[in-house]
Amino acid sequence: MDQTSRTLTAVGLGPGDPELITLKGLRAIEAADLIFVPRSRDGGLSYAERIVSGYLRPAQTVIRLPLPMVRNADELVPAWESAADAIVSAYEQRGATKGVYLLLGDPLLFGTFIYLAERIPVRDAYMQIDVIPGVTSFAATAAKANFTLATTDDRIAILPASYETDLPALKALMQQFDTVVFLKAGTVLAQLLAAVDELGLTATSIYGEKVGMPEETLETDVSVLAGQNRPYLSLLIVRKPETNA
């Protein structure tokens, strides 16, 4: 490939509400020739594509990349390699100079773009890679519930709950930190809520699922969810009551 200016911009779309895209992200999408999104598992629109559907023009080419969601990132290596191939090829074949890679939330906070970005330079040394940050799912969930995440000298911890198996360690974290955000909480929600209850933190916890999407669930009384597991795209925010403003 020659040195003609090509850019690939990762755009954090926020958690689901199309209005929570940044102006900068929207302008990057509008200016792009190529729109890269994950391919939905069920053949329908992916969340990312659904969020931006109202912003796209017919002249733009949407390229759906097969990126299966698996627990172990290593299993995804072949998928990332082929997605990086597909991205670089798309610029070549179409003579395109501007592409955006769309993803939920923020690109660099548990985002899929991290794995892709490192595979582009070996394929196209002249591709410029930019990142536009996005609103996180936990900020959007807190906003909907007017739930304080942190004030003044508070400490906050964020971790994906579905990878955590050491419940005593999680309980220690909830005692050590003023606020703990458990991402991907749904699949282990029953045991998380049992731990939260033992610590007396049920009344100062909230649960959100697909917040900002039409099928949103927001629960400020998490006791009603006791014993349930829920979908993957969800989070539980636990806060110590003595520090809740």
Q: Which stretch binds its own copies (CB under 8 A): 14-22, 93-101, 201-209, 226-234?
A: 14-22
Of residues 74 and 215, the one with the C-beta less far from its own copies: 74
**How far is it, in rounded angstroms, from Cα 127 to Cα 16?**
29
Shortest CB 75 distance to its own copies, Å: 11
Which of 91, 170, 93, 178 lies closest to 127 in space, CA to CA?
Answer: 91
**From 62, 86, 90, 129, residue interacting with its own copies (rule: CB under 8 A):** 129
**From 34, 120, 142, 222, residue interacting with its own copies (rule: CB under 8 A):** 142
Q: Which stretch binds its own copies (CB under 8 A): 13-21, 41-49, 61-69, 88-96?
A: 13-21
If one asks whether residue 201 binds its own copies (CB under 8 A), the answer comes out as no
Of residues 42 and 57, the one with the C-beta less far from its own copies: 57
Torsion over CA of 73, 16, 208 and 173, rounded to 10 degrees? 40
Q: Which stretch binds its own copies (CB under 8 A): 10-18, 43-51, 192-200, 222-230?
A: 10-18
Of residues 157 and 203, the one with the C-beta less far from its own copies: 157
If one asks whether residue 191 binds its own copies (CB under 8 A), the answer comes out as no
If one asks whether residue 75 binds its own copies (CB under 8 A), the answer comes out as no
Q: Which residue has the tokens 């548990």?
A: 110
If one asks whether residue 24 binds its own copies (CB under 8 A), the answer comes out as yes
**From 16, 38, 99, 107, residue interacting with its own copies (rule: CB under 8 A):** 107
Give the pair of three-digit tokens for residue 219: 């629960």
If one asks whether residue 106 binds its own copies (CB under 8 A), the answer comes out as yes
Shortest CB 70 distance to its own copies, Å: 10
Strand partners, 209: 217, 234
Which of 181, 102, 107, 94 lies closest to 142 in space, CA to CA?
Answer: 181
> Edge-to-edge, what's the strand order for the sheet holding 61-65?
61-65, 34-38, 98-103, 6-12, 127-132
Residues ≥6 apart with Cβ < 8 Å to 12: 22, 25, 103, 104, 105, 106, 107, 111, 131, 132, 133, 134, 135
**How far is it, in rounded angstroms, from Cα 34 to Cα 99?**
4
Using CB under 8 A, list all residues that contact its own copies: 12, 14, 17-24, 26-27, 73, 106-110, 114-115, 117-118, 129, 131-136, 139-140, 142-144, 146-160, 163-164, 177, 245
